[in-house]
Structure 1
Amino acid sequence: MVSKQNAVIEQELLDDYRVGDFFIETPYRTILGKGVFMQVPSEEDHEKQMVELPKKVALTLKKAKEQGHPYPIVTGAVPFDSSKKACLHVPNSVHFSPSFQKEGRGQVSSAPVAVNELISVPSPEYYMKGVEQGIEKIRSGELDKIVISRSLELSLTESVDIPQLLHNLAYQNKHGYTFATDIASEEQRTTLIGASPELLVSRQGMHAIANPLAGSRPRSKDPVEDQRRAKELLSSPKDLYEHAVVVENVANALSPFLKNMEVPEKPSLVTTETMWHLSTVVKGELLDTEISSFDLAAALQPTPAVCGSPTEKARQAISEIEPFDRGFFTGMVGWCDAEGNGEWVVTIRCAEANGHSLRLFAGAGIVGESKPEEELAETGAKFQTMLRAMGINTEQFKDI
């Protein structure tokens, strides 16, 4: 069954979500995919995984249509490491509705999640040493920017109520991208869930939009201090440089696919419940009707906003500095239909949920002027998106 715009309201789609489904709510639409009609096959040669994936996505959509699917779309997630296997499939049924993010939405009440144990990987001290390593690589001329991240591993007293967590994230994330998708392996079922503020790229008809974010400040509960931080961010040489590196990279990556590109000279501000971000909206027209949203996303992933610059050197440095596998964190999650339309979101402000365990992620962009203690505080603020949605009181934990 396929229901088009206006057939089902957004709240019903959110209520109808079950673990294992694909769900995404954007400022423009809500999509719920159920079941698996066809998997996008992975590439046996890991080195060619990302190179071949756009072709495999296009072929899977074509096959699904030939086999009678009334409206095939590919949904799911792609990991940060381009050599790792993506989790992409065509759902059996796809339901669309307009987004009601900007309209009133009542807060979902739920009991706070009880935490047995919370471990920071790496420890805060080790993370700051990693930031120092990144700064050294930048000052030596090896890198222009690098993103250093850390994770929080939570052990809970009860299994994660994923549908409830998704409701809470959707309530809090009225202007971003709320998502949940299955990233099950052969060993266990795991849900990737989050509320990202960052659009990697969208394609509608012949028009494409990318919205890189880089340069951040934690929000303050004090309105005066909150506005001071916003103004400071907008004039910060360090953050403006970090942002400029990302925007230049995004524009260069999209230039082979787009014409009449619009790249604003100065960034603007966007806000979430927990953070201020520098934002630039890059627009353009497709050079060819065959270019899909997934083609564009694959060309962009990963941007310096989540990796660094130059990309391959930064990615190698990340593998040396970070003592954990990012998995799908800082990858991309989204959808692409047979006409090439779609939306792909940078997978940040997210967690991997499995039974009694949750693994949260947060990173910070490092440039030559970065200070380790400030970057640690930034990652702690970014964790709050997921922690607040779970009702977790973080005061009892020193490692956040």
Structure 2
Amino acid sequence: MQVKTVKSVKAEQLLDEYKVGSSFFFASPSRTLSAEGIFATIERDGVHGEKTELIRRVKAALKQASQAGAAGNPLVVGAMPFDIQDSIHLFVPETVHWAGPLPFEQLQRERERSCLGEYEIAPVPAPKAYEYAVEQGLKEIASGSLEKIVLSRSLHLSTGGAIDVPRILRNLAGNNEKGYTFAVDVRHHRQDSQKTLLGASPELLVSRDGQQVTANPLAGSVPRSKDPEEDGRRAAALLASEKDRHEHAVVVEAVAQSLRPFCRTLTIPDEPSLVQTETMWHLSTVLNGELADPSVDSLTLALALHPTPAVCGTPTALAKKTIQELEPFHRGFFTGMVGWSDSQGNGEWIVTIRCAEAEARLIKLFAGAGIVAGSAPEKELAETSAKFRTMLQAMGLNDE
């Protein structure tokens, strides 16, 4: 087998040629990546969640690709779960295509409204049960054992026909100019039925470009309004909210603490800023650093950060344990990370949110909310409902 890189293609062509089960697709605001075939798989057996062993195996696979005559710069691509003890999906593809950014305005105009026929929808857990879980989380916070916990819920949509993943992916891309659109096959074995993780994440976990490191944690959110004046009021209130600024500060400090050992310099803005998606306002902070050791690669940085308090909580170990007790489903790749890292150590890894898993006639949507002192269960429920809209609208559905 030979690994090759192709750059002379258009971004829209990569989106058009996406194939469920055989393509890895990843689009950022500045470039588009599509990968096909499998040269080497990063096996899970024997890793047992040990990050250093996982990184060693990735580097060995990239070296093997280079020795096999890879043209250009071989990559590892794929998805990591919320709990790295779970199954991972990382591989070195045979063919890599790079292009510039997607034509977002064109994709917006061409957006197709209906991607589902008849369907049934089931919330997991039910809304009242989710509010009860938030109440339990607040009790842990009041006791002093937790400072923050992120609790999530899921929507299961079953349909009469197969899920049209390429069309949903195209719709997601058309509404995500400032974020990251992705699709990756996450089935455990090639003989299993196809299972696709896809979404439109607004959150960069970390990127490395030469010596430069960037992280962009988001925490503190409020749903958008279709009324411009109300939308502006909500944005201003979020920026001024003591509760949301505290939630955001917890995440930023955790990210900074994880990056400092790797960086010669690290710049952190004094104040958060606002970023918007089609459905949400978020508090955002962009951290920029310069690596102290040029041998540190993007996957090493991503694993050092993951999971941040933006998707888990703090302290991390207790928050994760409480999540597993309170959430009635297994997160899997939701709140994990998706991205790529090359043989030179450069790469991008994003937080796997605003996402779904599609398998045959079932698609599972996921959304979570950060719980801190002052959180209200009904408002956290409303926040998750708003976050579901990213995927629901991509399927031509406007409401739960």
- Normalised TM-score (structure 2): 0.96
Q: Deviations over 1:243-302 (max 9, x none)?
A: 000000000001111121001111000000000000000010011111001000000000
Maintained 8 Å contact 1:208/1:285: yes
1:182 is the counterpart of 2:215: no
Alpha-carbon distance in 2 for matches of 1:42, 1:290: 24
Q: 1:227 aligns with which of 225, 229, 232?
A: 232
In structure 2, the residue matched to 1:247 is 252
Alpha-carbon distance in 2 for matches of 1:177, 1:393: 21
Maintained 8 Å contact 2:25/2:33: yes
Moved more, 299-308 or 81-90: 81-90
Please tell me the residue identity of whatever aligns with 1:152. L
In structure 1, the residue matched to 2:327 is 322
SS at match of 2:261: coil
Listed as ranges, the gaps of 5+ residues in structure 2 are none
In structure 1, the residue matched to 2:275 is 270
Moved more, 332-341 or 56-65: 56-65
SS at match of 1:264: coil
Q: Deviations over 1:153-194 (max 9, x none)?
A: 110121011111111000111110000001012343200000
Please tell me the residue identity of whatever aligns with 2:39. F
Q: 1:83 aligns with which of 68, 82, 85?
A: 85
What is the CA-CA distance between 1:101 and the residue it aligns to? 5.3
In structure 1, the residue matched to 2:171 is 168
The CA RMSD over aligned residues, in Å, is 1.2
Maintained 8 Å contact 2:112/2:396: no
Q: How many residue pairs end up in the alignment?
A: 392
In structure 1, the residue matched to 2:99 is 97
Please tell me the residue identity of whatever aligns with 1:39. T
Q: Deviations over 1:221-262 (max 9, x none)?
A: 000000000000000000000000000000000111112100
Maintained 8 Å contact 2:147/2:314: yes
SS at match of 1:65: helix
SS at match of 1:24: strand
Maintained 8 Å contact 1:102/1:175: no
Maintained 8 Å contact 1:27/1:101: no
Moved more, 100-109 or 347-356: 100-109
Aligned counterparts, 1:1-400, within 5 A: 1-4=4-7, 7-20=8-21, 21-48=23-50, 50-70=51-71, 71-100=73-102, 104-105=106-107, 106-186=109-189, 187-394=192-399, 400=400
What is the CA-CA distance between 1:51 and the residue it aligns to? 4.2
Alpha-carbon distance in 2 for matches of 1:100, 1:112: 21
- Normalised TM-score (structure 1): 0.96
What is the CA-CA distance between 1:111 and the residue it aligns to? 2.9
Over 6 Å off, 4+ runs: none
Listed as ranges, the gaps of 5+ residues in structure 1 are 395-399
Label 1:283 to 1:125 Cα distance change in 2 as closer, same or farther (>3 A): same
